[in-house]
Amino acid sequence: MMESSGGVWSDFSFVAASGYRERVLNALSRKPKFPKDVARETTLRITHVSRALREMGGRGLVECLNPEAKARGRIYGVTEAGVTLLAYFDRSSRRFVPVSARGTPYVGFVPKIRGSSVLRILAVLRDSKGKEALDGAIRSWTIDPREITEDSWISVDACAELLELVEARFGDGSYAFIRAVFATTAPSFPTIRGEIARRMSLRALSERAPVVYSKEWNFGRLEVETTPRSADLRHFDWMPTPAMCAMFHGIYEGILHWRGIDGQVRKVRCVRAGDPCCEYHVTW
């Protein structure tokens, strides 16, 4: 899990929020480089590289190794804090790449979820279980929930850890509690709420699911196949823990309930059972 000391999780959020920072930090992971070399390796414009270096330098993640040199002759490398963050990125990324790509070098992939969604989950739990009970349940979480903002990015590992802590305190081990929490919470996620507000047909809404998914998550792949009265939602290359599986089961049930539709969601395939994907069959 991500270390809580030294604000590592907030550094994660800061870097993960920008593809420029993410790619520049990764480019420096093997050895110090000139900005022009980073730009060539990452295919970023030199202005974007310079800005990313300046921003990450301000947080102590990278540093100029020869500050006396002129701008074009300066060499940049990662600091000890940057090395710690890169090590976490590397460990985490290798867990989520497709099987076909495993064994290839880390290419800057950071599995993450929006902080705004995590805040909605915590709010529902606080209302239903009370602040004191929730604080007790997540006291050992590697993230300080008081520091999460709408614009934060949370690692998928940290999100999975949160769900396990919640299930251990309030659930019975079946993850039905997690499923129920997300059935309640999902319609309040900003991206989902925006789609529901458009009042499109449930079939059209289902076909928009991959778009919504990509706004909340940056890993895995969601494929959808629909008929006038059903939808099959298939999750590939993702994190199929029991809690995560229950989470999406609840999300799909919550959307049906929010739309006032008497439908059903069944999980018909699971990666943990040896299937190529986790599939949810929704009927209405």
Q: What is the pLDDT of residue 221?
A: 85
What digits encode the pLDDT tens for the residues 47-64? 889 999 999 999 999 999
| Domains 5-110 and 113-283 equal at CATH topology level | no
Across-strand partners of 278? 235
How many CA atoms within 13 Å lie on the side-chain side of 145?
21
Average pLDDT, the chain: 85
How would you class 168 by CB atoms within 10 Å of its CB: exposed for 0-12, middle for 13-18, buried for 19 or more?
exposed
Give yes or no for residue 111 having a pLDDT over 50: yes
Backbone angles phi, psi at 224, to 5 degrees: -130, 135
**Higher confidence at residue 217 or residue 97?**
217
- Mapping DSSP to helix (H, G, I), strand (E, B) and coil, where does residue 132 land? helix
Rounded distance between C-alpha atoms, residue 94 and residue 109, angstroms: 9
CA distance 6 to 87: 15
Distance CA 82, CA 133 (A): 35
What does the H/E/C string look like for 204-246? HHHHCHHHHHHHHECCCEEEEEEECCEEEEEEECCCCCHHHHH
Query: What pLDDT was estimated at residue 174?
Result: 93
Q: Is 84 helix (H, G, I), strand (E, B) or coil?
A: helix
* Residue 133 CB contacts under 8 Å (≥ 6 apart), including other chains: 169, 170
| Per-residue DSSP letter, 71 | G
Helix, strand and coil content of the chain, in percent to the nearest 5, comes to: 55, 15, 30
Top-confidence range, 107-121, 193-207, 270-284: 270-284
Question: In Å, how far from its chain's centre is CA 77?
Answer: 27
User: What local confidence, expressed as pLDDT, does residue 22 receive?
Assistant: 82
Task: Give the confidence band of 115 by pLDDT, cuts at 50, 70, 90.
Answer: confident
Residue 177 three-state SS: helix
Which tokens is 283 given?
Answer: 């009927």
Where are the domains positioned within the chain? 5-110, 113-283
Q: Pick the range with the lowest mean pLDDT from 19-33, 74-88, 94-108, 139-153.
A: 94-108
Q: Give the model confidence (pLDDT) of 218-249 as tens digits.
A: 777 899 999 999 999 999 877 788 998 999 99
Work out the pLDDT band at 100, boundaries 50, 70, 90.
very low
pLDDT band at residue 182 under the 50/70/90 scheme: very high
| pLDDT on residue 103 | 46
- Is the pLDDT confidence value at 46 over 50? yes
Sign of CA dihedral 148, 185, 89, 223: negative
Residue 6 binned pLDDT confidence (cut-offs 50, 70, 90): very low
* pLDDT, position 124: 94
Does pLDDT of 74 surpass 70? yes
Q: Which residue has the tokens 């999300």?
A: 251
Instruction: Let me know if domain 113-283 sits in CATH 3.40.470.10.
Output: no
Query: 249-273, pLDDT tens digit by residue?
Result: 999 999 999 888 999 999 999 988 8
As a whole number, mean pLDDT of residues 80-90 equals: 84
pLDDT score of 220: 77
According to the model, what pLDDT value does residue 162 have?
92
pLDDT score, position 86: 86
- For the domain made up of 5-110, the CATH class stated in words is mainly alpha
Main-chain dihedrals φ then ψ at residue 59, nearest 5 degrees: -100, 0
Residue 5 has pLDDT above 60, yes or no: no
